[in-house]
């Protein structure tokens, strides 16, 4: 039996969902089956059209730890996650995507960071394992070792929405996920969080991301284009980030965000827009174009003739 200290914190697990029946059942069942049982699971349905809210309600209606909150209009994962936190009762909060699962000791492993270091009030995190890929991280961390802001900017694989936990009050103090962003909102949140909070590694794999949807966010070019410079501006306007990150690492991060937008324009054959954006960024001395971007610029001229 677990000690009282290890069960003292109520943990709220928020699962945002949109048309994810029946995969979401595996996610919920992985929460129910945790070794750590002082928890609540809040499913926030983002205006699904597949009848999943009613199906979930019917399947789990006898489990008091499971509750469902319904959004009237589809507003994106950030809004769903933030809404879930607003109704959460737990001292600690974490998240799980609706088609992924938690290993059996996921919650216990992350809570242990807080239990063993009572003064700690930051982010507890573990590994996120992609089910169809091996863990290829070359740099390992020791249990309870800190993750720095620069480390995360250099390798954003260290933190994943399924694999972190933090005090609910700190999440609210940070303002939650940026609801204006529909892409890379998790990265922006982690960067903002690490500007103010410590993050410590719990030492284990705490989530499994399944290959239910083969479409990766980084390849969702239309969504990247629709967001435009939103992610870049969010980082550019974060004065604390500019104070705490090393200039070289920060500049590389900002450049990658611009490159991603330009790449999406080119990949979707929006050649005129691609050339206009490249020209504007160069004229304003925001970037110096890479050889690849110059080549694409010239190729785009030929393809639009």
- Segment 151-176 shows an average pLDDT of 97
Q: Are 133 and 212 in contact (CB under 8 A)?
A: no
Would you give the DSSP letter of residue 148? Answer: P
Contact residues for 148 (Cβ-Cβ < 8 A; gap 6+): 194
Residue 208, pLDDT above cutoff 60: yes
Give me the chain's average pLDDT, please. 93
pLDDT tens-digit profile of 230-280? 999 999 999 999 999 999 999 999 999 999 999 999 999 999 999 999 999
Measured torsion, CA atoms of residues 114, 44, 42, 204, in degrees rounded to the nearest 10: -40
Residue 216, pLDDT above cutoff 60: no
Q: Are 159 and 184 in contact (CB under 8 A)?
A: no
pLDDT tens-digit profile of 100-133? 999 999 999 999 999 999 999 999 999 999 876 6
pTM for this predicted structure: 0.93
Show the DSSP H helices in 122-270 as ranges.
149-154, 168-174, 185-194, 221-227, 230-236, 239-244, 247-267
Spatial separation of the C-alpha atoms in residues 172 and 44, rounded to whole Å:
17
Q: Are 216 and 133 in contact (CB under 8 A)?
A: no
């Amino acid at each position: 039996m677990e000690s009282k200290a290890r069960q003292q914190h109520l943990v709220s697990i928020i699962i945002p969902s949109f048309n994810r029946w029946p995969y979401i059942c595996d996610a919920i069942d992985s929460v129910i089956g945790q070794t750590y049982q002082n928890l609540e699971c809040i499913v926030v349905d983002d205006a699904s059209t597949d009848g999943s809210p009613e199906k979930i309600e019917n399947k789990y209606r006898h489990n008091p730890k499971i509750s469902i909150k319904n959004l009237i209009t589809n507003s994106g994962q950030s809004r769903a996650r933030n809404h879930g936190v607003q109704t959460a009762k737990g001292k600690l909060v974490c998240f799980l995507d609706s088609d992924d699962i938690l290993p059996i000791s996921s919650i216990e492993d992350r809570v242990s960071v807080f239990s063993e270091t009572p003064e700690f009030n930051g982010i507890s995190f573990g590994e996120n394992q992609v089910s169809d890929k091996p863990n290829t991280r070359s740099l390992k961390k020791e249990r309870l070792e800190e993750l720095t802001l620069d480390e995360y900017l250099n390798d954003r694989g260290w933190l994943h929405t399924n694999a972190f936990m933090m005090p609910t009050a700190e999440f609210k103090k940070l303002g939650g996920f940026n609801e204006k962003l529909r892409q890379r909102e998790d990265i922006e949140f982690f960067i903002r969080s690490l500007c103010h909070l410590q993050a410590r590694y719990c030492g284990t794999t705490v989530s499994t991301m399944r290959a239910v949807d083969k479409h990766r966010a980084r390849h969702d070019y239309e969504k990247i284009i629709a967001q435009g410079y939103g992610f870049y501006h969010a980082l550019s306007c974060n004065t604390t980030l500019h104070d705490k990150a090393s200039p070289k690492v920060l500049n590389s991060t900002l450049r990658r965000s611009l490159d991603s937008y330009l790449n999406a324009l080119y990949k979707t054959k929006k050649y005129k827009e691609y050339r206009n954006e490249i020209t504007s960024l160069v004229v304003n001395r925001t970037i110096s174009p890479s050889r690849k971007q110059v080549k694409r610029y010239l190729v785009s001229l030929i393809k639009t003739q």
